[in-house]
Structure 1
Amino acid sequence: MRLLKMFLFVLIGLFAVITIIGLLIPSSVKVSRGVIVNTDSSNVYKELSDVKNWNQWLPWITADSGAIVQTSAVTNAPGAYFKWKGVKLNSAGTFTIQSIKPDEILVLHEIKDMNTSEGGFRIRSISSNTTEVLWYMEYKLKWYPWERFFGIFIDKIIGSAFEQGLEQFRSYTEQKYGSSTAALTREN
Structure 2
Amino acid sequence: MFAVGKKYHFETSTVINAPIEKIYPHMSSMKAFNQWNPWLEMDPGLQLDYSGTSGEVGDKYCWNGNKESGQGCHEITALVPNQKQSTKMVFVKPFESDATSDLILSPEGNQTKVTWTMDCELDYPMNLMKLMMDSQMEKSYGSGLKKLKSIVEQEK
Asked if these proteins are the same fold (TM beyond 0.5), I'd say yes
Distance across 2 between alignment mates of 1:87 and 1:171: 27
Give CA deviations for 1:92-123 in whole Å, capped at 9, x if unaligned. Answer: 33221110113111111234436201121000
1:131 to 101, 107, 112: 112
Are the aligned partners of 2:42 and 2:69 in contact in 1 as well (CA < 8 Å)? no
Give the paired residue count: 153
Question: How far did 1:148 drift?
Answer: 2.1
Counterpart residue number, 2:54: 75
Q: Give RMSD over aligned pairs.
A: 2.1
- The one-letter code sitting in structure 1 at the alignment partner of 2:99 is S
Q: TM-score, structure 2 length as denominator?
A: 0.85
Does the 8 A contact of 2:84 with 2:102 survive in 1? yes
SS of equivalent residue, structure 2 residue 34: helix
What is the CA-CA distance between 1:88 and the residue it aligns to? 8.5
- 1:87: how far off? 4.8
As a proportion of its length, which structure holds more helix?
Answer: 1
Does the CA contact (< 8 Å) of 2:43 and 2:69 recur in 1? no
For normalisation by structure 1, the TM-score amounts to: 0.72
**In the alignment, structure 1 residue 108 sits paired with structure 2 residue 88:** yes
Is residue 2:29 matched to residue 1:50? yes
Contact 2:11 2:117 in 1 (8 A): yes
State the structure with more CA Rg: 1
Q: How far 1:56 sits from its partner (Å)?
A: 1.4
Deviations 1:19-59 (A, max 9, x none): x85xx212211111111111120121111111111221111
Percent identity over the alignment is 21
Equivalent of 1:40 in 19, 27, 42: 19
| In 1: Cα distance, 2:152 partner to 2:96 partner | 29
Alignment partner for residue 133 of structure 2, among 138, 154, 163?
154
Amino acid at match of 2:114: V
Structure 2 residue matching 1:78: 3-state secondary structure: coil
User: Which of 133, 144, 148 lines up with 1:169 in the alignment?
Assistant: 148
> Is this contact kept in 2: 1:64–1:88, CA < 8 A?
no
Go from structure 1 to structure 2 and tell me whether the alpha carbon gap of 1:151 and 1:124 turns closer, same or farther (over 3 Å shift).
Answer: same
2:43–2:65 CA contact under 8 A, matched in 1: yes
For 1:74 and 1:163, the matched residues in 2 are separated by 28
Q: Distance in 2 between matches of 1:68 and 1:106?
A: 23
Q: Which residue of 2 aligns with 1:181?
A: none
Q: Which has the higher strand share?
A: 2
Specify the code of the residue in structure 2 equivalent to 1:95.
Answer: H
Per the TM alignment, residue 83 of structure 1 is displaced from its structure 2 partner at its CA by: 2.4
Question: What CA distance in whole angstroms lies between the structure 2 residues aligned with 1:89 and 1:165?
Answer: 17
Between the aligned partners of 1:88 and 1:30, the Cα distance in structure 2 is 25
Decide whether the 8 Å contact of 2:29 with 2:54 is kept in 1: yes
The 4+ residue runs of structure 1 with deviation greater than 6 A are none
